[in-house]
């Protein structure tokens, strides 16, 4: 049966997200069918044009079957 696993992080923590995904893949033994993702646009903190930008959200969807 196909199942979905969702991973969420922010763009400046992508190496940590990779580690989390790789650990899950190794421990679960899942047979990956596909991986898709999305990155949300950045927005300025406080709504001002001169504000600093926060890290964009990154979300990854893994479609898999149990081994």
Q: Which distant-in-sequence residues (6+ apart) come within 8 Å of 18 by Cβ?
A: none
Read off the pLDDT of residues 31-57 as tens digits, 9 standing for 90 and up.
999 999 999 877 665 555 555 666 899
Q: Is the pLDDT of residue 30 over 60?
A: yes
Q: Is the pLDDT of residue 15 over 90?
A: yes
In this prediction the pTM is 0.77
Q: What are the extents of the domains in the chain? A: 2-42+56-65
Looking at residue 37, what is its pLDDT?
A: 96
Distance CA 63, CA 21 (A): 13
Looking at residue 2, what is its pLDDT?
A: 96
């Amino acid at each position: 049966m196909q199942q979905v696993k969702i991973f969420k992080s922010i763009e400046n923590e992508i190496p940590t997200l990779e580690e989390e995904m790789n650990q899950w893949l190794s421990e679960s033994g899942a047979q990956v069918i596909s991986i898709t993702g999305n990155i949300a646009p950045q927005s300025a903190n406080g709504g001002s044009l001169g504000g600093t930008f926060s890290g964009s959200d990154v979300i990854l969807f893994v479609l898999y079957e149990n081994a």
